[in-house]
Amino acid sequence: MKYYSTNGKAPIADLQKAVVKGLAEDRGLYMPERIKPLPKEFFDTIETKSFQEIAYTVADAFFGEDVEAEALKSIVYDTLSFDCPVVKVKENIYTLELFHGPTLAFKDVGARFMARLLQYFIRRSSAGCCTTATNQQVNVLVATSGDTGSAVANGFLGVEGIHVYVLYPKGKVSKIQESQFTTLGRNITAIEVDGVFDDCQALVKSAFMDEELNRHMKLTSANSINVARFLPQAFYYFNAYARMKALGKADQMVMCVPSGNFGNICSALFGHEMGLPIKRFIAANNANDIFYKYLQTGKYEPKASVQTLANAMDVGDPSNFARIYDLYGKSHERITALISGATYNDEQIRETMRQCYTETGYILDPHGACGYRALQEGLKDGEVGVFCETAHPAKFKETVDSIISGDVEIPERLAAFMRGQKQSVEMTKEFEDFKRFLMSR
C-alpha cells in the first residue's frame, strides 16, 4: 500500500517510511491511497467473531500487503491483550469502554500497535542488511503534557531494539500521569524538563533537525498523527458494531466520539468507508469548538485552545481535520451528511456527570461526558447510540470525586504505577544540554 500526503507535495511513501517518518516532508498527513471495502459476508457473521479475529481482518485490509500474515496477526493479538467492551448505560445508550489497557485510555491501542509494527520493521531491515551495522537501536523521542507520554512509554515498554525518551514539563503533569511514565525503567527514560510543554516540544524538534545527533543515533517520533497509531483505532469500532449486532441493536447505530485532535473519530470514519454499517457519527467537543463551527459554517478557523475539564480535548487546530477533509473530497456537504457536532462547556460537563451518575449509577469521565450528553440530546427515534469512554474516570479522580461527591475506585493497575519508584533525568530547556545527554548514550 502506498501513502500520499494530504498536502500533496511530498513523494508517495510506503508503509515503513510513513511509520518511521510520521509526518510527510511537506508537513502533510499520510493517507492510504486505497481503502479496501470488506466483503458483505464478513459483516453478515461479524457477531460470531472475537475482537482479535475482527481486528486482524481490518488490519489485513490496511497492512496486509506490507506485513507478513503471521507477523501481522501476532502484532494485532499482542496489541489487544485487553478488551474494549460495550456496556449499557441506559435505554438505547451504550458506552464503548476504551480504558481497559495499561494506561487506562484509548491511546494504548494505537501506541501498542505502533511499537510492535516499528519493531517488525527494525527486525526486517536488520535481517535484510549485510553490513556490520545490524540491529541499530531506534530511539523514540516524545514530548508530553500528560497522556501521550504514558501511552507511548507503556506501548513501547520492553520492545526490543527501541528506546523511548519521554520529555515532560517539571511540576506541570499530575502525579498519576507522571507515575505512568517515570516508574517503568527498562527501555524507557523519563526526562523532566525545567520548563513548559512547549519547551519539551522544542527540544524534540531541535533534536530531529540536528545532523550530528542524527549521525550518532537513529531518532524517530511516536506522534499521534502516525498512520500506525491512528488506523488501528478502527479495530474497536468494528468490534463495537459486532457486539451491538449480537444484542440486536445495530440496525440504526449512531457512534459518538469525544474528539480533540480527531484521530479517534477519523479511524471510525475509515471503518465506515470499509463498509462498517454505522448510520451516522457525532463528534463531541468541549468548549474548543473549531470542528463544530466548521460543520455549521463550512469555514475551518483554528484558534488558540482554551483549558477545560476534558483537557485531552483542548485542541485549537485539530490535526486530523486534514484527513477527514481529504477523505470526503473536501466537501462540506458530504461531511455534514454523515457527521454532526456538539460542544459543551465545563458547567455542562459537570451537570452531565452528576445527572448520569444519579440516574444510572454510571461514572463518566469528563471526556466521555461530552459523548454521553451529545447522544442524549441528539438521538432520533429508532436510533441506538454508542459513545466512547476514552479514559477511566480514576485518571481524573479529584475532579470526578468533587463533581459527583463520590470516591472513584482506583483500579489496581493504576495504583501499581502510583506505588512505583520515580526515576527521571533532570534537564534544562537548553538544547545543548539535551544534546550532550543524548550524545553520551
Ligand X SMILES: *Cc1c(COP(=O)(O)O)cnc(C)c1O
The stretch among 6-14, 30-38, 66-74, 255-263 that binds ligand X (CB under 6 A) is 255-263
Q: Which is nearer to ligand X, 273 or 426 (CB)?
A: 273
CB 391 → ligand X: shortest distance, Å?
3
The answer to whether 258 contacts ligand X (rule: CB under 6 A) is yes
Q: Which of 232, 263, 385, 393 binds ligand X (CB under 6 A)?
A: 263
Grid cell at residue 351: 451537570
Query: Interface with ligand X by CB under 6 A: which range of 152-160, 252-260, 289-297, 378-386?
Result: 252-260
Task: Report the nearest approach of ligand X to the CB of residue 51 (Å).
Answer: 20
Write out the three cell numbers for 38. Answer: 470488506
State yes or no: is 107 an active-site residue: yes
* Residue 276 CB coordination number (10 Å): 24
CB of 229 to ligand X, least distance (A): 9
Q: Is there binding between residue 264 and ligand X (CB under 6 A)?
A: yes
Q: Is 391 in the site for ligand X (CB under 6 A)?
A: yes
Q: Which of 342, 405, 393, 395 is nearest to 370 (CA)?
A: 342
CB closer to ligand X, 187 vs 390: 390
Choice from 6, 95, 150, 261 touching ligand X (CB under 6 A): 261
| Nearest partner of 188 among 218, 222, 154, judged by Cα | 154
Rounded to the nearest 10 degrees, how much is the dihedral formed by the CA atoms of 99, 101, 105, 110? Answer: -130
The minimum distance between CB 11 and ligand X, in angstroms, equals 27
Closest to ligand X by CB, 42 or 101: 101
Interatomic CA distance for residues 236 and 409, integer angstroms: 25
Q: How far is the CB of 124 from ligand X (least distance, A)?
A: 29
User: What is the pattern of x (binds ligand X, CB under 6 A) and - over residues 33-72?
Assistant: ----------------------------------------
Asked if 262 touches ligand X (CB under 6 A), the answer is yes
Q: Is 260 in the site for ligand X (CB under 6 A)?
A: yes
- What is the 3 state secondary structure string of the chain? CEEEECCCCCCCEEHHHHHHHCECCCCCEEEECCCCCCCHHHHHCHHHCCHHHHHHHHHHHHHCCCCCHHHHHHHHHHHCCCCCCEEEEECCEEEEECCCCCCCECHHHHHHHHHHHHHHHHHHHHHHCCCCCCCCCEEEEEECCCHHHHHHHHHHCCCCCEEEEEEEECCCCCHHHHHHHHCCCCCEEEEEECCCHHHHHHHHHHHHHCHHHHHHCEEEECCCCCHHHHHHHHHHHHHHHHHHHHCCCCCCEEEEEECCCCHHHHHHHHHHHCCCCCCEEEEEECCCCHHHHHHHHCCCCCCCCCCCCCHHHCCCCCCCHHHHHHHCCCCHHHHHHHEEEEECCHHHHHHHHHHHHHHHCCCCCHHHHHHHHHHHHHCCCCCEEEEEECECHHHHHHHHHHHHCCCCCCCHHHHHHHHCCCCCEEECCCHHHHHHHHHCC
Closer of 139 and 343 to ligand X (Cβ): 343
> 80 with 93: CB under 8 angstroms?
no
The reply on whether position 344 binds ligand X by CB under 6 A is: no
Q: Which one of 120-128, 162-170, 258-266, 431-439 is the stretch in contact with ligand X (CB under 6 A)?
A: 258-266
Q: Which of 144, 179, 352, 390 binds ligand X (CB under 6 A)?
A: 390
According to the binding rule CB under 6 A, does residue 375 interact with ligand X? no
Provide the minimum distance between the beta carbon of 389 and ligand X in the complex, in angstroms, as a whole number.
9
Size of the site for ligand X (CB under 6 A): 15
**Smallest gap, in angstroms, from Cβ of residue 433 to ligand X?**
30
Binding of ligand X by 259 (CB under 6 A): yes
Is 105 an interacting residue with respect to ligand X (CB under 6 A)?
yes
- Of 279-298, which residues contact ligand X (CB under 6 A)? none
Question: Of 17, 36, 107, 395, which is the active-site residue?
Answer: 107
Minimum separation from the CB atom of position 285 to ligand X (A): 9
**Residue from 108, 147, 178, 289 in contact with ligand X (CB under 6 A):** 147
Q: Which is nearer to ligand X, 75 or 265 (CB)?
A: 265
CB-based contacts of 398: which residues, under 8 Å, 6+ apart?
Answer: none
Interaction residues for ligand X, span 349-368 (CB under 6 A): 367
Of 190 and 315, CB closest to ligand X: 315
Binders in 309-328 for ligand X, by CB under 6 A: 312-313
List the catalytic residues. 107
Residues forming the site for ligand X (CB under 6 A): 105, 107, 147, 258-264, 312-313, 367, 390-391
